[in-house]
Structure 1
Amino acid sequence: MILTQTTGLADPLFKLFHHADRLSGLRQGKFSAPIMVDIDPVDGVCNLDCDWCCQAASRASRPTRIMADETMIRLGSFCQAWGVKSWRIAGDSEPLLNKNISLLIESGHAHAIDMGLITNGVYLDRLSKIDLQRLRWLGVSLDAASAETWSSLKHARQEDFHRILENIRRARSLAPELDISIKFLRWNAEESLSKSRFTVPIRKISGDGALQPVLQGNNCNEEPEFRALAERLGVHAILRDSYPKDFPSRYRFAKCVATPLGGVFDASHNFHLCCDARNVYVLTDDYTRDDWRELPALWGGDRHKEMIASIQPGNCLGCAKYRMNEAIEKYIFADTPDHNFI
């Protein structure tokens, strides 16, 4: 299974060229502030239950928490002063479950932070026209072209599929210039890595009365319909393959060298080094400590570097930065004569 993203956009790895100073710093062991951070306005709960959710374990490991208004208001000025360029508002939970998320968007906008939002779309109507216009992009994880398939994969009511489509139409109308995409993760239960690796698998009763695991779900036949749906909605379609079950064996990097380019501010005030391993590599359990001065002081220090060195990529079931890690390790960290032939 080849992991691909099909859009009209240039390869996202090209964006690394714009941050040559950060890459040079990585090689020298000098870490600047992250380029992009994930903001989790909600911890530990989601309104859907996707078959492939790689964040299911993270949600299950911690209590439900909504980011405090005061924290959302302060994050903009803090990130601007630290040197963060952008926010991806998403999380291991549905971000729009935080009913005051407008405060976060206002804070980012007021402090020149570029912002994108990833949502399942059910509560997209909670965003105002101003909220939408302040975003650089909006991604809706739809993953199906029909209510029946969507309901089966998300374990939710079919009516919510139609609600999402209405919410997308509303967003398109309120923010005509906003880059909106609907996302489609190609899912095949027999081949794809599923949340059952982290949680109790779905089971059924076999003919002899014994419990048997169920491998169910496949949305691949709806891909053409999904593209057509995006066109009707006036948005982009982004299609990617889900992580294969043997994904770690396909990594072509030995160390997680891209880690300092990002990080996660969660609703519980933890700062996580990796969005794919929340609760595993926590640099501080309170990024507001010492009037928000502790985190920048820890960043790039001995403890931070020791945590990065301890990461074993082969133990990570799904690495969203796998291509970035491969590129940086091969072309920034390695010294070979090959690099002189451009």
Structure 2
Amino acid sequence: MSQSFKLLSHLDQLSGIKTGDYRPPVMVDIDPVDGSCNLDCAWCCQAASRESRPSRFMPDSTMERLGSFSKSWGIRSWRIAGDSEPLLNRNISILLESGRSNAIPMGLITNGVFLNRLDKDDLKKLNWLGVSLDAATAATWSSLKRETPDKFDQILDNIKNARALAPELDISIKFLRWSSADNLIKSDFVVNEFAPTFKHASDENEVFSNENEVDLFSKLADELNIRAIIKNAYPKDFPSHYGFESCRATALGGVFDASHNFHLCCDARGVYVLTDDYTRDDWNELPSLWGGDQHQELISSIQPKQCIGCAKYKINEVIEKYIVNDHSDNTFI
């Protein structure tokens, strides 16, 4: 289902965005790990975020509390991912149980190398599992991820095992259609003057693409008895395509990181931080800040044209055109 259609399920949140009376987030990102990844993807939009802070794992006590907090505040779902590989946190089962015991729908995005760390019970707690594979052959995968080719086969084995352990689970492999000539590369992701600089000389000169493996990737998904999700990577001139002036979609979500920061935007971790400790005041500070002057001023400070990438650009366009602005198209059904 497209993001635009999903908005129809959250009319109360949309009404709150229009009036300034923000409801609790629909979905939040949960980062079990900060500042560390086992792969080095050529287009990684989170590399600068990782470089800006030390490695840290979310404390067990935080993972235990997140479920009950999310339920009481009104958060509807979790996407477990991050600027790092979430399965590097060996205690992630605590987080999954915290979500399950509080009836929080959960999805997990992983690069798949450590997918074997999840057992049958862990997998049963998930609503969906996405593996960012981005290639159909070991050679291409190795070039894109800067890792030895044998890890590609290891990932496929892990996926097969996960499918056997959880035959009903919605499992997908994700493919980001990317070309270094046309799409953003890792060193491009410097959001603004507050974001860290992250440059690799080799990135500037390398010309590479995975586009010729799209059909083979779909066949691979069929062989694994899972879904293939194929999307386009961010284009180099992405901001010029934005059809919105304000980032109102930010009020629909946020990021709980392993260091207890709550970030407003998953594409700009460390730039728009609502609180540097969401556990402060026995977890009461964040709900008290949500929708307040500080929160709304922080959202207003976001300049979309300065954001090199935006995962919620389609949602922002719909909200601005059809929800906030009284566009005449609304009356022509």
Q: Which residue of 2 aligns with 1:210?
A: none
Shift of 1:197: 1.5
User: Do residues 200 (structure 1) and 191 (structure 2) align?
Assistant: no
Q: Which residue of 2 aligns with 1:176?
A: 167
Distance in structure 1 (CA, Å) of the matches to 2:188 and 2:3: 29
Shift of 1:316: 0.5
Instruction: Describe the superposition over 1:50-70 as per-residue Cα deviations: whole angstroms up to 9, x where unpaired.
Output: 000000110000110000000
3-state SS, counterpart of residue 248 of structure 2: coil
Instruction: Describe the superposition over 1:218-263 as per-residue Cα deviations: whole angstroms up to 9, x where unpaired.
Output: 1111111100000000000000111010001110000001111000
Distance in structure 2 (CA, Å) of the matches to 1:336 and 1:138: 38
Distance in structure 2 (CA, Å) of the matches to 1:236 and 1:228: 10
Q: Which residue of 2 aligns with 1:338?
A: 329
Shift of 1:217: 1.7
Distance in structure 1 (CA, Å) of the matches to 2:2 and 2:115: 28
- The 5 Å alignment of 1:201-216 reads 201-203=200-202, 213-216=204-207
3-state SS, counterpart of residue 100 of structure 2: helix
Contact 2:3 2:315 in 1 (8 A): no
User: Do residues 68 (structure 1) and 67 (structure 2) align?
Assistant: no
User: Do residues 82 (structure 1) and 73 (structure 2) align?
Assistant: yes
Distance in structure 1 (CA, Å) of the matches to 2:311 and 2:2: 15
Contact 1:201 1:214 in 2 (8 A): no
Q: Which residue of 1 aligns with 2:244?
A: 253
Q: Which residue of 2 aligns with 1:3?
A: none
3-state SS, counterpart of residue 158 of structure 2: helix
Q: Which residue of 2 aligns with 1:120?
A: 111
1:216–1:202 CA distance, 2 compared to 1 (3 A): farther
Q: Which residue of 2 aligns with 1:231?
A: 222
Match of 1:107 among 90, 98, 101: 98
TM-score (norm: length of structure 1): 0.94
Shift of 1:201: 2.9
User: Do residues 136 (structure 1) and 127 (structure 2) align?
Assistant: yes
Shift of 1:216: 2.2
Distance in structure 2 (CA, Å) of the matches to 1:88 and 1:228: 27
Contact 2:321 2:327 in 1 (8 A): no
Q: Which residue of 2 aligns with 1:242?
A: 233
User: Do residues 26 (structure 1) and 25 (structure 2) align?
Assistant: no
Match of 2:310 among 295, 319, 322: 319
Q: Which residue of 1 aligns with 2:301?
A: 310
Shift of 1:12: 2.9
Distance in structure 1 (CA, Å) of the matches to 2:218 and 2:14: 36
3-state SS, counterpart of residue 254 of structure 1: coil
Instruction: Describe the superposition over 1:143-183 as per-residue Cα deviations: whole angstroms up to 9, x where unpaired.
Output: 00000100000000111100000000001000011000000
TM-score (norm: length of structure 2): 0.96
Match of 1:91 among 82, 104, 115: 82
The percentage of counterpart residues that share the same residue type is 64
Task: Give RMSD over aligned pairs.
Answer: 1.0
Gaps of 5+ in 1: 1-9, 205-212
Count residues with an aligned counterpart: 325
Instruction: Describe the superposition over 1:182-240 as per-residue Cα deviations: whole angstroms up to 9, x where unpaired.
Output: 00001111111011224223339xxxxxxxx4122211111111000000000000001
Distance in structure 1 (CA, Å) of the matches to 2:303 and 2:101: 39
| Partner amino acid, structure 1, of 2:125 | R
Distance in structure 2 (CA, Å) of the matches to 1:185 and 1:337: 36
3-state SS, counterpart of residue 108 of structure 1: helix
Q: Which residue of 2 aligns with 1:219?
A: 210
Q: Which residue of 2 aligns with 1:147?
A: 138
Distance in structure 2 (CA, Å) of the matches to 1:154 and 1:336: 44
Distance in structure 1 (CA, Å) of the matches to 2:317 and 2:206: 32
Distance in structure 2 (CA, Å) of the matches to 1:104 and 1:13: 29
